Copies of this chain bind each other. A is one copy, B any other.
Amino acid sequence: MFKDDQHLTEKQKGILAAATELFAEKGYAATSTSEIAKKAGVAEGTIFRHYKSKKDLLLTIVSPTMIKVISPMVKKDINKVLDKEYDTFQDFLRAMIANRITFVKKNTSLLRIFIQELPFHEELKKQVIEQIGKDVLERLREVIRHYQGKGQIIEMHPDTIIRVAAASTLSYILAKYVVFPEVDWDEEAEIERMIQILSDGIAVKNSD
C-alpha cells in the first residue's frame, strides 16, 4: 500500500506497514513502539527519527496526507463503476457492491484503524467525513440522477437515496469484513436479496 508513495525509504515504508498491521490487529494504544520496530526490522530509535511520536505515526497513517493518497485510489476505483453504463440501477448496485467489497478486502487493516481510532480524534473525523464525503458524493448524485432520468428510480432527493443505500450496503460490508470477519454468511445469496429489497424500495413501481 505504501510502496510507490512519495520518496519514502525502505525502512520508512516498513515502519508504516508494520504499524498499520499492528494497530489494526491490536489497537493503537495496545501496540508498543518496540513491537513495531521489531516487526519492521529496525531499531526503535529509527521510528522516532521519522515520526516525532507514536501518535504522529498514527496520524501519518490516517492523516489528510494519507487520505489524499488513498482518496484518489478510492475515486479511481469507484470511477471504474461510475464510468460504465449499466442497463438497470440494479446492475449498477450489484457492480458497486462488488467493487466496494474488493476495496474493503484490500484495505481491511486501514479501515479497521479508522473505525477503531476515529472516535478518539475529533479533528480527524471531520476531515475524513469532508474529504471522502465531498469527493465521492457528487459523482454518486450524478448516477442517481442518471437513473432517475431513465425513469428507473423514484423521484426523491438523491442524497436520501444515497444515504439509505450506502448505509445499508456499506455497513453490511463493514460488518461482514471488518467487524465480524469470521462469521460465515452466505454472501452471494445474501447480497442478492439485499439488492432485491433495496432496489424494490427505490425502484419506480410500475403499477402504482
Binding site for B on A (CB under 8 A): 26-30, 112, 115-116, 118-120, 122, 125, 129, 156, 160-161, 163-164, 167-168, 171-172, 174-175, 179-180, 182-183, 190, 193-194, 196-202, 205-208
Contacts and interface: CB of A to CB of B under 8 A. Distances in A.
Nearest to A208: B207
Q: Give the number of times this chain occurs in the complex, counting copies.
A: 4
Nearest to A160: B193
Contacts of A179: 115, 118-119
Nearest to A24: B119
Contact of A202 (B164, B197, B207): B197
Central interface residue in A112, A122, A163, A199, by most chain B CB within 10 Å: A163
B201 A26 contact: no
Contacts of A163: 190
A167 to B, nearest CB: 5
Contact of A120 (B26, B160, B164): B26
27 contacts: A26-B120, A27-B27, A27-B29, A27-B116, A27-B119, A27-B120, A28-B29, A112-B119, A116-B116, A119-B179, A122-B182, A129-B183, A163-B190, A164-B193, A164-B197, A167-B168, A167-B171, A167-B172, A167-B194, A171-B171, A171-B174, A197-B198, A199-B201, A200-B200, A200-B202, A205-B205, A205-B207
